Amino acid sequence: MKKLALAATIALSLSSFSANAADMPPPILNAPPMPWVEAGSNWYLRGDFTYRTFDVPGTQGPEDAAALGLGVGYQYNNWLRGDITLDYQFASKFPLTDAANVAGAKMWSSALFANGYIDLGTWYGVTPYVGAGVGTAYNHLSSDGRWNFAWAAMVGAAYQLSPNLSFDFGYRYADLGSAIALDNSLIDVTAHEFKVGFRYKLD
Q: Which of 26-30, 51-55, 173-177 has the lowest mean pLDDT?
A: 26-30
Q: pLDDT category, 142, cuts 50, 70, 90?
A: confident
- Give me the pLDDT at residue 13, please: 54
Q: Which residues contact 202 (CB under 8 A, 6 or more apart)?
A: 40, 41, 43, 44, 45, 164
Other Cβ atoms less than 10 A from the Cβ of 181: the count is 22
Say whether pLDDT at 15 is over 80. Answer: no
H helix runs in the chain, sequence order: 2-23
Q: Which domains does the chain have, with CATH numbers?
A: 43-201 (2.40.160.20)
| CB of 46 closer than 8 Å to CB of 70 | yes
CA distance 122 to 118: 12
Selected residue with higher pLDDT from 31 and 187: 187
Q: What percent of the chain lies above the pLDDT cut of 70?
A: 80
The 3-state DSSP class for residue 131 equals: strand
- Give me the pLDDT at residue 20, please: 52
CA distance 116 to 80: 8
Mean pLDDT of the chain: 87
Full-model pTM: 0.78
Q: Which residues contact 26 (CB under 8 A, 6 or more apart)?
A: none
Q: pLDDT category, 203, cuts 50, 70, 90?
A: confident
**Best CA proximity match to 163, nearest among 125, 113, 135:** 125
Q: What percent of the chain lies above the pLDDT cut of 90?
A: 76
* CB-count burial class (<10 Å; 0-12, 13-18, 19+) for 188: middle
Overall average pLDDT of the 86-101 stretch: 95
Q: Which residues contact 183 (CB under 8 A, 6 or more apart)?
A: 100, 101
* CB-count burial class (<10 Å; 0-12, 13-18, 19+) for 105: buried
